[in-house]
Amino acid sequence: MALALLLLCVAAASLTVGAASTSVWQTMGDILAGREVSLRDRVVLWDIRVPRLIMGCLVGAGLAISGAIMQGLFRNPLADPGIVGVSAGASLGAVMAIVLGGMLPFAPLFGSWLVPASAFGGAWASTILLYRIATRQGRTSVATMLLAGIALTALTMALTGVLVYMADDTQLRDFSFWNLGSLAGASWSKLAVAAPMILLPVLLAPLLAPGLNALALGEAAAGHIGFRVERLKGTAILITAAATGAAVAASGGIGFVGIVVPHLLRLLSGPDHRYLLPNAALLGAILLVLADLVARVIIAPAELPIGIITALIGGPFFLWILLRQRGLAEL
Amino acid sequence: MLTAQNVSVSLARKPVLSTVSFTALPGEVTSIIGPSGAGKSTFLKALTGDLPFDGEIRLNDLSVRSALPAKLARIRAVLPQASPMAFPFTVLEVVRLGCPTPDRDRIAREAMAHVGLAGFAARPYQLLSGGEQQRVQLARVLAQVWEPVVKGMPRWLFLDEPVSSLDIGHQQQIMEIARIFAQRGGGVVMVMHDLNLTAMASDSIALLCRGELMIQGSPQTVLSENRLRQAFDCHLTVNKPPEAGVFVLPCLAS
């Protein structure tokens, strides 16, 4: 409840602040009252700030909930789509769609869904690969998981590099713009694709909560309690891949949201996934909208890529968890 | 009733168990003993459906191989050997995990009191000692099958070395809990190392050696000096004082 109120406040602040000095509230009041509004004000509010705000909420919620589910799946608070190579897999998928999409005869059928769908495919494949590598007999080794993540990231980045090398000028421009990792490109048409791909996982995620709680005991024990573990894992991987894929396709590489948010929530309200998952979606949205706000004002009128802000917060945070965990339990 | 017929298990293409046939009755504590590497834990994993096996295992007339996990979970609970938890769950949250009923909080608290952890509800599981963690897991398992008999059907406890990291007082307490569960009509199947505790608590003992069942029977029958020497390949004496159970003592060769 407190988180929902906080999200409203942050959203209001995000609408108010920006390069163009527009009185948002007056404009909004004018629109609601049916009064005449200047084209510039309408564009600033309706075509730039509102879609950007909604995209920020969606991407933040998607990344945070992906992180929370992956951590439950790997039974480790250090699992995060950005760190273990899943975002890199999604990037590879997105770049494949941008560069090679034109060559595929069926590509036009996908329309604007091509890039997100391909990013989803990349995220899905890399999560499954990672799980196969890092988990043996129901136990995940953190060292293997992180190292496999490094290897996966290196491999997918190399393949992405090859594709970029093959790309023509238009594709290169598309790619660079996307790769900046920013919410600046948010538009209603992009939202139409990203919204279902992120909202569906966010709404379905709480169904996984009892299973993820049981999985904390280990895979065998989760089975003994009565969960169909293989099905649970498969669903969890699909859901994270969809949310990560859509988030990466919409905004490029924004890291660390998936690790910071669930960890903060575990400190605040405990590890029970029934509360963790919905709250992660809310706090993820808050954090990303806030980071976007900082990115826009800190060197105004220019703006910093939002990925830099999240990495500045998330990097030290990650190290802190790593050091704390080392003392707590065997890795 | 739990029956295993001609159960064989291979791990990494190496046979670990061959054609073991075995029965455990509700109302009894059945122990599986044998030297290290005899296949005790493997056999228990087959009995709980965690490993693929040849042959047939039936629990209350349910085929363990094909039954859904949810269906098996209603009639049997399994205590694993070691149980690290991934996140900082509290003791109460861990114990509640396996408990399906609406009044899970009450059952969880009763189960905690039963294993001597009444004041531990809010403690973080990860910060407990190994012995305390094992008792929390036992409470969780007990909470899952809290009533030993439901609608005339017995429920089962499978315990993999339940006393391995406990002191003598708590070992005794766990054996007591297993006995009470069996006396109330449930079935207990456990893998054990300590032969004296096994003799004290069991109605029936299955002795495994090199992947095969040597014998299954009462403690008096199974725990004979010659058989134990042969199975464990060591010097020992067995005392059977009248009306005082069975005592196994190791002896030094020199």
Contacts of B139 in chain A (CB under 8 A): none
The per-residue pLDDT for range A50-70, each reduced to its tens digit, is 888 999 999 999 999 999 999
pLDDT level of residue A330 (50, 70, 90 thresholds): very low
CA B90 to chain A, closest CA, distance in angstroms equals 9
Question: What per-residue confidence (pLDDT) applies to A19?
Answer: 58
Test A218 with B68 for CB contact under 8 angstroms: no
Size of interface A-B (CB pairs under 8 A): 73
Residue A75: closest C-alpha in chain B: B86
Q: What is the interface pTM, i.e. ipTM, of the complex?
A: 0.91
Q: What φ, ψ does residue B31 adopt, rounded to 5°?
A: -110, 145
pLDDT(A99) > 80 = yes
Question: What per-residue confidence (pLDDT) applies to A319?
Answer: 84
Share of chain B above pLDDT 90, in %: 75
Q: What is the pTM for the complete model shown?
A: 0.87
Domain count, chain B: 1
The amino acid sitting at B29 is V
B197 lies within 8 A of chain A by CB: no
User: What are residue B59's DSSP bridge partners?
Assistant: B2, B62
Question: What per-residue confidence (pLDDT) applies to A23?
Answer: 67
Query: What's the mean pLDDT when you consider all of chain A?
Result: 83
The amino acid sitting at B170 is H
Test A223 with B98 for CB contact under 8 angstroms: no
Question: What per-residue confidence (pLDDT) applies to A180?
Answer: 63
Q: Strand order of the sheet with strand B2-11?
A: B14-24, B2-11, B54-59, B62-63
Question: What per-residue confidence (pLDDT) applies to A329?
Answer: 47
Residue B87: closest C-alpha in chain A: A271
Q: The CATH number of A2-328 is which of 1.10.3470.10, 3.60.15.10, 3.60.60.10, 3.30.465.10?
A: 1.10.3470.10
CATH number for the domain spanning B101: value is 3.40.50.300
B68, B71, B97: residue with CB nearest A214: B97
Domains of chain A, by residue range, sit at 2-328
Residue B127: closest C-alpha in chain A: A328
B95 lies within 8 A of chain A by CB: no
Which of B50, B87, B90 is the mutation pick for testing A, counting most A CBs within 10 A?
A: B87
Q: Lowest-pLDDT range, A145-149, A275-279, B111-115, B196-200?
A: A145-149
pLDDT(B59) > 50 = yes
B48, B70, B80: residue with CB nearest A226: B70
Please say whether the beta carbons of B231 and B209 come within 8 A: yes
Please say whether the beta carbons of A72 and B89 come within 8 A: no
Test B89 with A328 for CB contact under 8 angstroms: no
Please say whether the beta carbons of A287 and A64 come within 8 A: yes
Total Cβ atoms within 10 A of residue B157: 25
Query: What's the mean pLDDT when you consider all of chain B?
Result: 91
Q: Specify the pairing of strand B204-209 against strand B187-191.
A: unpaired
Greater model confidence, B99 or A289: A289
3-class DSSP string for chain A = CHHHHHHHHHHHHHHHCCCCCCCHHHHHHHHHHCCCCCHHHHHHHHHHHHHHHHHHHHHHHHHHHHHHHHHHHHCCCCCCCCCCCHHHHHHHHHHHHHHHHHHCCCHHHHHHHHHHHHHHHHHHHHHHHHHHHHEECCEECHHHHHHHHHHHHHHHHHHHHHHHHHCCHHHHHHHHHHHCCCCCCCCHHHHHHHHHHHHHHHHHHHHHHHHHHHHCCCHHHHHHHCCCHHHHHHHHHHHHHHHHHHHHHHHCCCCCHHHHHHHHHHHHHCCCHHHHHHHHHHHHHHHHHHHHHHHHHCCCCCCCCHHHHHHHHHHHHHHHHHHHHHHHCCC
Greater model confidence, A133 or A25: A133
User: What average pLDDT does the segment B108-113 reach?
Assistant: 93
Q: Cβ contacts of residue A27 below 8 Å, gap of 6+?
A: A37, A41, A42, A44, A45
B78, B89, B93: residue with CB nearest A224: B78
Test A217 with B83 for CB contact under 8 angstroms: yes
Greater model confidence, B208 or A138: B208
Test A216 with B88 for CB contact under 8 angstroms: no
Residue A229: closest C-alpha in chain B: B69
Which tokens go with A45?
Answer: 């509010």
Contacts of B94 in chain A (CB under 8 A): 217
The amino acid sitting at B198 is T
Angular region, B245: left φ>0, alpha ψ -120 to 50, beta rest: left
Vertex A23: Cα angle to A20 and A24 (nearest 5): 95
Q: Which residue segment(s) compose the domain that B93 sits in? A: 2-250
- Say how far apart CA A226 and CA A130 lie, in whole Å: 26
